[in-house]
Structure 1
Amino acid sequence: MPTAGLVDTHVHLLPDRLAQAIRRVFRDMGMDRFAYPLDPADVLRQHVADGFSTVWTLPYAHQPGMAARLNADVAALARMVTTDRTLVVPGMTVHPADDDPAADVEAGHDGGARVLKLHCSVGRYTPDDPRLAGALSVAGERNVPVVVHAGHAVSGRTDADELEALSTACARHPDTTFVIAHCAQPATARSLELLARHANAMADLTPVVVDLVDLDPAQLEAHHDRLLLGTDAPNTAVPARRVLDWLDDAGLSADARAAITGGNARRLVPDVTGPPYTSR
């Protein structure tokens, strides 16, 4: 992984047909303003202009039977759009109703994926679903962080009580790192409680559609070693520049800003060598 530049740990660069379908869902919900086009190359050009050198692209499966193929397609897409200026780290996903989610994680990791994404509202499950136990154990064994969107609201927001299932998963799998997507906005206070309770929990600062995460400068500074930068591009109304300006306005120490904007991500995902990452 590049040792300089910002890292966006929450991006959805996906195969075109799926990307178009997801954007239609957002439009059907009434969203009429997007900060990014759908084309991955266009998204990455904007990210390079904003100082990013690495992005994690996170797929998610809305139904059983699609995760394995999607993981392979995302790895291929990451390989295709990675350049000498931007490294695209492929993520993978699983669905608890599939025959062997643990095997899907093994295959995805063997194919180049370095992050696992669970989207509980899209897949209609909770992170403590017993059928996910094998997949989460494999993630821990292979040092694959698990980004979890715990909320089930169509708006993308998370209720405080929805984090209890994630807390259960953290306790059951102490060797697995869990990342609370969107810092569970607006339940950010409960997210910080979960960080205090579980050493294997982190959180990303990805906006929710139109809203920045509700953390103040003191909270950002105090938890800087457990926080990651994210944008949710392309299906967001908040451009990366606004997130970066928010962090700048927080007046963070140099160490805290460096950790949040790249250091923590590089610590979580240091192993990005091999054919899936060759650049053009």
Structure 2
Amino acid sequence: MDHPDDSPVCLGTVSGWLGPGASVPPLPALNDEEGPRLPEGLPPVVDSHVHLFPDGVFEAVWRWFDQYGWPIRYKLHTPQVVSFLLSRGVHRVVALHYAHKPGMARFLNSYIAEVARAEPRVWGLATVLPGEEGAADILAEAFAAGLKGVKLHCHVQCFAPDAPALHEVYAACARAGRPLVMHAGREPASPQYKCDVHALCSAERVERVLKEHPTLKLCVPHLGADEFDAYERLLERYDNLWLDTTMAAANYFPMPVPRRLLEVRPERILYGTDFPNLPYAWDRELKQLLALKLGDEVEAGILGQNSLRLFGGC
């Protein structure tokens, strides 16, 4: 299969955070200072939200961001992404990708499995398009190839978390004991997506999934933005839910960092960045988290131990 050249992207222009109907141009680069590597003395750091794609897909992602998102500071292809993070002291990388049309998933899964075999510090996740023919078989093959979970994206793939087509995917993940990372929060939203993400996504719909699939290990990125209070309540109620911090704790978007959400069940929070598709320094989010002074034990969990427990046993 040829490298696709029209892939959508992982984040939009946060128009929803600025008010209904807001027209938002591409957001600015921050040009903030970056560290040469992680600070000395930190516990193991796992970046639980890194995107890896074939070159053609990456380049399509960057074109989209240039027009609708923000300037990408790190236009690095997969080998350079992996080398960049590991050489700066990141202990492990959780590699995510997604298929936006039928027929892509096997190719992308094979690509990520090969990357992970070449570098064991990369833990690759699989993808599938919900509802495509043979979805369960696609995931079984990916798990047999060593992939440690699944990545789905409601905005890009245009599905609601509680859609019937998802039950096959949820069951496959639960059977295999593999976590599912699913962008099921409403934000960041963009009018450039091919569906109304606020109509598809809500904490209420995610709660239905948690209730109906109690053995599914579900991680919602971006701390569930923008329904932080609702996700705080879900964390309190459900033992099969995790959240990652990706871009929601970086003080880039027009919102406060939801500290209470980080503290209600800190053992269920993972550090993630969205690298390389960032408009600011690679270590900005880590610095912002450390500045909260959450305590040594909580920091160790969020920065790496929680992710090692979630993905390490797969």
Q: TM-score range by the shorter chain?
A: 0.7 to 0.9
3-state DSSP class of the match of 2:122? strand
Kept in 2, the 8 Å contact 1:72–1:108? The answer is yes
Is the Cα–Cα contact under 8 Å of residues 229 and 261 in structure 1 kept in the other structure? Answer: yes
1:35 aligns with 2:77: no
**Counterpart position of 2:169:** 135
Pair 1:231-2:273 in alignment: yes
Q: Which among 149, 154, 178 is matched to residue 190 of structure 2? A: 154
Q: Map of 1:1-280 to 2, 5 A cutoff?
A: 5-31=44-70, 33-80=71-118, 82=119, 87-151=121-185, 153-154=189-190, 162-207=202-247, 210-211=252-253, 214-271=256-313
The one-letter amino acid of 2:61's match is I
Cα distance 1:118–1:30, how it changes in 2: closer, same or farther (>3 A)?
closer
Task: Note the residue ranges of structure 1 that are not aligned, 5 or more in a row.
Answer: 273-280
Distance verdict in 2 for CA 1:205–1:258, change over 3 Å: same
Q: Distance between the aligned counterparts of 1:116 and 1:167, measured in 2?
A: 19
Q: What residue identity is the alignment partner of 2:81?
A: V
* Count of residue pairs brought into register by the alignment: 264
Contact 1:101 1:135 in 2 (8 A): yes
Describe the shift of the 1:216–1:164 C-alpha distance in structure 2 as closer, same or farther (beyond 3 A).
Answer: closer
Q: 1:129 to 1:217 in 2, by over 3 A?
A: closer
- CA distance in 2 between counterparts of 1:219 and 1:192 reads 5
CA contact (8 A) 1:96 1:129 kept: no
- Alignment TM-score, normalising by the size of structure 2: 0.77
Determine helix, strand or coil for the equivalent of 1:106.
helix
**C-alpha distance in 1 between matches for 2:59 and 2:296:** 39
Q: Which whole-Å deviations, capped at 9, do the CAs of 1:206-235 have from their partners, x for residues lacking one?
A: 006943984444542332111000000111
The alpha carbon displacement at 1:20 in A equals 1.2
How big is each residue's C-alpha offset from its partner over 1:238-270, in whole Å with a ceiling of 9 and x where there is no partner? 333111111111111111001101111111112
Could you tell me whether the CA contact under 8 Å between 2:66 and 2:72 is conserved in 1?
Answer: no
The CA distance in 2 between the partners of 1:213 and 1:91, in whole Å, is 30
Residue 75 of structure 2 aligns with an amino acid whose one-letter code is: P
| Structure that is richer in helix per residue | 1
- Root-mean-square deviation (CA, aligned residues, Å) is 2.5
Q: What TM-score, normalized by structure 1, do the two folds share? A: 0.85
Determine helix, strand or coil for the equivalent of 2:126: strand
Aligned CA distance change for structure 1 residues 212 and 113 (closer, same or farther; 3 Å): farther
**Which structure would you say has the larger Rg?**
2
1:8-53, Cα deviation, whole Å (9 max, x unpaired): 111101111111111111112152x223222223323332354311
Relative to structure 2, which stretch is displaced further, 194-203 or 53-62?
194-203
